[in-house]
């Protein structure tokens, strides 16, 4: 996708908002418009970029004959109580800072406009470097935004009925289940999460 088209789409996203772009996507490509996560601005924008550049619906370009995979996908997820997860996130942010995250962020500061740095952690620390926030506020926002991101990930994965969930602290149970999957060449249901 050309830089000009990408810039145009992100400018429109800022000016018009996601709802407007989603409406346009659904008009230009009803198939993909019905499938796309309506809250995922990057996917909506990307589909519109492809449509604008190719003149064809994004759904036409992404469908095709899929090769049969020489393996089977088995999805499993690890879960823990929300309070425990959030406490671990808070402690992880503190540990990252103690292990040199601020120095790392300073080294990549010249590349802050790269998409890879538009993430939780860097965004907040860059605002500290810019003098917009004191360090304690940047770290509090980093913790909060990481917790929000974790909640979104959990919500997204919990919608997938193929995921087999296990408590994160029951490694023996997980290993036993994986062993059964490999030995039987079938996916047994896991025991209910306690």
Tell me the backbone φ, ψ of residue 4, rounded to 5 degrees.
-65, -45
The dihedral through the CA atoms of 118, 119, 123, 125 has a sign that is negative
Q: Is a pLDDT exceeding 80 seen at residue 17?
A: yes
Residue 19 vs residue 193, higher pLDDT: 19
Q: How many CB atoms lie within 10 A of CB 123?
A: 16
Where exactly does CATH 1.10.20.140 map onto the chain?
A: 3-62
Domain 3-62 fold: Histone, subunit A (1.10.20)
Q: Does domain 82-158 have CATH number 1.10.760.10?
A: no
Match 């309506």 to its residue by tokens. 38
Residue 107: per-residue pLDDT: 95
Q: How far apart are CA 41 and CA 46, in angstroms?
A: 8
Q: Per-residue pLDDT tens for 145-190? A: 999 999 999 999 999 988 999 999 999 999 999 898 888 877 766 6
pLDDT band at 63 (very low <50, low <70, confident <90, very high): low
Where exactly does CATH 1.10.287.890 map onto the chain?
A: 82-158
């Amino acid at each position: 996708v050309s830089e000009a088209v990408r810039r145009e789409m992100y400018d429109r996203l800022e000016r018009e908002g996601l709802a407007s772009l989603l409406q346009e996507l659904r008009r230009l490509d009803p198939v993909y418009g019905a499938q796309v996560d309506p809250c995922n601005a990057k996917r909506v924008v990307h589909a519109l970029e492809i449509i604008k550049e190719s003149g064809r619906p994004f759904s036409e370009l992404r469908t095709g004959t899929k090769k049969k995979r020489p393996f089977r996908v088995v999805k499993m997820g690890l879960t823990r109580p929300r309070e425990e997860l959030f406490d671990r996130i808070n402690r992880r942010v503190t540990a990252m800072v103690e292990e040199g995250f601020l120095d790392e962020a300073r080294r990549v500061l010249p590349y802050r406009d790269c998409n890879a740095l538009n993430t939780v952690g860097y965004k907040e620390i860059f605002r500290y470097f810019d003098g917009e926030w004191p360090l304690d506020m940047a770290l509090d926002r980093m913790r909060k935004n990481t917790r929000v991101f974790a909640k979104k990930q959990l919500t997204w994965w919990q919608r997938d009925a193929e995921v087999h969930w296990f408590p994160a602290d029951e490694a023996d149970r997980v290993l036993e289940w994986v062993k059964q999957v490999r030995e039987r060449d079938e996916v047994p249901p896991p025991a209910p999460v306690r």
